[in-house]
Amino acid sequence: MKRKLILEDGHYFRGNAFGSEREKSGEIVFNTGMTGYQEIMSDPSYCGQIITFTYPLIGNYGVNRTDFESLSPALHGVVVKSKSPYPSHWKSEESFDQLLRRFDIPGIEGIDTRRLTRLIRAKGTVRAAIVSDDANVEDVMHQLQSELPFTTQVANVSTDSAYHVPGGAGPKIALVDYGAKQHILRELLKRGCDVHVVPYNATVEEIMALQPDGVMLSNGPGDPRDVPEAVETVRVLLDQTVIFGICLGHQLLCMACGGEATKMKFGHRGSNHPVRHLPTGEVAMTAQNHGYAISAESLAQTPLSITHLAVNDGTVEGVAHKHAPAFSVQYHPEAAPGPMDANDLFDQFLARAREPQKEMK
């Protein structure tokens, strides 16, 4: 069965349908990872988006029950050059196509993903829709142009209520869930942390009532400016506890200190992004997934020091607070999928959490 992928600027592609039969729209983005499609698709940070995989063959090793980053993928569609009909791996339990059908996610294959990626790079991320083959291109284009921005992604993917995950006798960590990947939780648990996961809109009082040794601000989808209440919460927490922010958590920490977030042309999404640590000059390969960044100029008058920069485009990839025990990175030290070069950041965070803290304001 044929179907179309239509972009809001009028470009369209015809391909073969797979996954769910439903029609769905969303912001179309591309990911350059060669492996890890299951983790990518189940990353809550893709809420509301249609993912284009630049690697030409997807699905060759199937899907298993252990590599999910969330229980229910929140993406709106998948675009591939070719999907493997016969996955082969000892852990495989279902196919790529079966996964999409199970979670009601539409897919399209057989299109020129190289051309599509070049369009996104040239024009920036735009809205798109996966629709039936008989859909009128002009009608869908106008519909996409009239759709309101999606602003509730964080609320959609965050936990509804707080829960406790005991891990050991290590530091007690409050993990603020803006759309946290499961691998962040796994990294804390394997280090013996006692983890309390709280919703994105948990108050300072609710978080500090847990008496945490540190607070981790998770990754999450969308524009950080859509969750102003989270910015205010982080601003107050800075005076009360140790903080480590990842991706959206990094942006919220920067905004709490006076930084400004800006939308990137097409973002960073993949498993091979080089980042330079400014104090040492060392370069780490990192996994990334974000469409917004913090303006370096906006940090000049804040109490934050820039610690990391992207090698490819010079965007801010990490900061440290000059006075409070707080730091953050734009990339994903938990990887999943991706390189583990930056995994020691969890150890740095927990080392700070174990230290007796000076009396906060």
* DSSP assignment string, 265-311: EEEEEEEEEEEEETTT--EEEEEEEEEEEE-TGGGTTSSEEEEEEET
Q: Which residues are catalytic?
A: 247, 332, 334
Please report the pLDDT score of residue 359 as a whole number.
45
Q: What are the φ/ψ torsions at residue 243 (nearest 5 degrees)?
A: -130, 140
Tell which CATH classification among 3.40.50.10480, 3.40.50.880, 3.20.20.150, 3.40.50.300 matches the domain 153-354: 3.40.50.880
* DSSP letters spanning 117-177: HHHHHHH--EEEEEEETTS-HHHHHHHHHHPPP---HHHHHS-SS-EEE---SS-EEEEEE
pTM: 0.96
**Identical fold, 2-146 and 153-354:** no
CA 205/CA 354 separation, integer angstroms: 22
CA 100/CA 84 separation, integer angstroms: 13
CB 16 within 8 A of CB 106: no
Please report the pLDDT score of residue 358 as a whole number.
47
Domains of the chain, residue spans: 2-146, 153-354
CA 234/CA 231 separation, integer angstroms: 5
| Mean pLDDT of each 10-residue bin along the chain, 361 residues long | 97 98 97 96 98 97 96 96 95 96 97 98 96 97 94 97 94 98 97 98 98 98 97 97 98 98 97 97 98 98 98 98 97 96 97 73 43
Amino acid identity for residue 47 in this structure: C
Topology of domain 2-146, CATH: Glucose Oxidase; domain 1 (3.50.30)
